[in-house]
Structure 1
Amino acid sequence: MLPNILDVALAYDLQFNPKTYGKKESLAKCPFCKEDSNKRKKFYLSLNIDYQLYKCWYCAESGGVLDFEAKLSGRSFTEVKQKYFGKCQTPIHPAFGLDPYQLEKIGWKEYKRKSFKEFQEKKDEVFQDWENYVKKELVRNYALFMCIAHLENQLERRKELLIWFIKRCWDSTVPNMYEMIQDEFLKPEYARKEWAIEGMEIGRAAWKACIKTMDFEIENLLVYVIFADYFYRENKKAHPNKERATQNHLA
């Protein structure tokens, strides 16, 4: 049985809003960003006692109660899980490790809530949907990162966009997305993973559109990447042996 998230918070001396303590959504000072530490009436961290979830409405740090304790204690997620459940002899299917926010992104949150038995039967499909979602997010965000990195003659603009991009990755339900993208970017092109190569192709096409219009606004950059991604996949279907067909559409 999962620990009570309020008990975990109390064990690490979190400061609560007394008016909300014990309610479905209990509010506390956020120990991660600490943006509310000097604001007497502000409590940015929400603790949901029904689902044992937490989320900071300022820095967007979020997850389940085991993850919460892991971050507060500095221990690994595995160590915290073993503290409550011991060492599991039978491997747990990765679909059961997805939190409600991740399941919501792939359309399985309510399905699991309404019928856990059927969710168990479809666990392979669930995890496949999650893997597809993760790849799509990595590809598009790698393309965005490529475009930002190309702003070599606009250092202030690149710095501004990079800060925005890092926050975007932190807000994502894909764990460690920024670190994965950065690691792939630093590798030689031939050594990059498939999703990074796809993202590179899409990023090049989107960058051409940016250069053509001299438009580097965040909203439009996202649109260019989405269109480039769409054309990349359509070209891949029509020309499976052509790896660089995308660039011709936005050139």
Structure 2
Amino acid sequence: MTALTAAASPAQAAAPRLDPHDPNGAWSGYSAGSNERGSGQVPAGALAGMDVSGHQPQVDWGRAYADGARFAYVKATEGTGFRSSAFTGQARGAASVGMVRGAYHFALPDRSPGAVQAHFFVDNGGAWAPGTGTLPGVLDIEHNPYGEICYGLDPAGMSRWIADFSGTYQARTGRAPVIYTTTSWWNRCTGANPNFAAANPLWIARYAPEIGPLPAGWAYHSIWQHSDTGPLPGGQDAFNGDVHQLHQFAG
């Protein structure tokens, strides 16, 4: 996704499995199809979606829905000093055409503790509650666009920071956040920590024709960001399931 001045790097993904976050244990797999970087083609059997930020200030939501998008994630916050001025309008726009929508937070682990950033996110658009038609909030944790790739933290310190954010978000909302990341960053900066996969759904970024290895611990992914260009504004995403499963995921 995007920080204030830099775009996210692509990453890895993997073949889907039975999804334990699905209350019915339903199969939510799909094949990679033949999408190439930049094509924006939705993988066969997947449900199209998008993610946007202030870099896409004007979104034609009706057109995006007509082009197949059924969900949208919108950037809400970054660190503890940035609130997207586009967030409210974008979230309302997605809802107005019937998309399931959610918010994401771009993490800056070198600026403040995870709990502080989780509270900032929840208080500025990232809250989740059952029955509201919103997707669980996202912790966007990836390469540092402003400095050292792992934000100056060793793997143990980074893992503690993520756990602090995740636990605080869950305590505030009743739901663990989705983790958006890349395989290379995760395995390097958390020391391939597998302990988050049990609670945190995975949103994997990888711009490539195939779904490759997942970060340590995850056996499946919930969302794949497969391109940054295509028919939809912003990032091109694919939910690993159908519309019914998307609404179950939203809770």
Q: Please state which band the TM-score falls in when normalised by the shorter chain.
A: under 0.3
> Quick check: which has more Rg, 1 or 2?
1
TM-score (norm 1): 0.21
TM-score (norm 2): 0.21
Higher strand share: 2
Q: Higher relative contact order by CA 8 Å / sep ≥ 6: 1 or 2?
A: 2
